[in-house]
Amino acid sequence: MSSLAQKRRLDTLIGGPITAVLNLLARLLGATLSRDHSLRTPPRRILLIKLIGQGSVVQETNLIRALRREHPEATICFLCFPEVKPLATRLEDVDEVIVLDESSYLRLAWTVLRFVGRSWSLRPDLVVDLEVFSKFSTILATLTLARDRAGYYLSTTRFRRGLCTHLVYYNRMRHVQ
């Protein structure tokens, strides 16, 4: 489809306004619905989002194992782009891998629409956005309408503040594991 630099540019140009609108909507709905985000109820369906970077997937294996250990009955799904699929399918703690087709903008739009519709029927209780800088992954996490959405936080990712219910500081100086 496009180079990593082009994807980053699109993420900023298109993702910025979309996250701003979603942030406003999420805050309004959050104030209206008063949902419980305490994580007291164990999640039955967990969605992990890691679109690019196989190395990062390897770094996140301990997190995935911990999720399985803490929630053995939960169904764990993994959303990614095709480049991550070979590794994601080998993760024994993941029950299902969902792949977004990025071979063209039209196919990407179609698979995103299908994913959003499917996520509404699956109703994940917890979505974990494993991307550090991506607005696109945060948009996808928000569109699932999951009760709890976790993601990494840096000063450069303030757009996640209203979209994620749980933010984890991402320390660049320390290895993820």
> Mean pLDDT across the chain, nearest whole number?
85
Mean pLDDT of all residues in 11-36? 77
The model's pTM is 0.86
Per-residue pLDDT tens digits for 128-154: 999 888 899 999 999 998 888 888 876
Task: Name the CATH superfamily housing domain 4-33+43-169.
Answer: Glycogen Phosphorylase B; (3.40.50.2000)
Q: Where are the chain's structural domains? A: 4-33+43-169
d(CA 117, CA 84): 22
Report whether pLDDT(177) > 60.
Answer: no
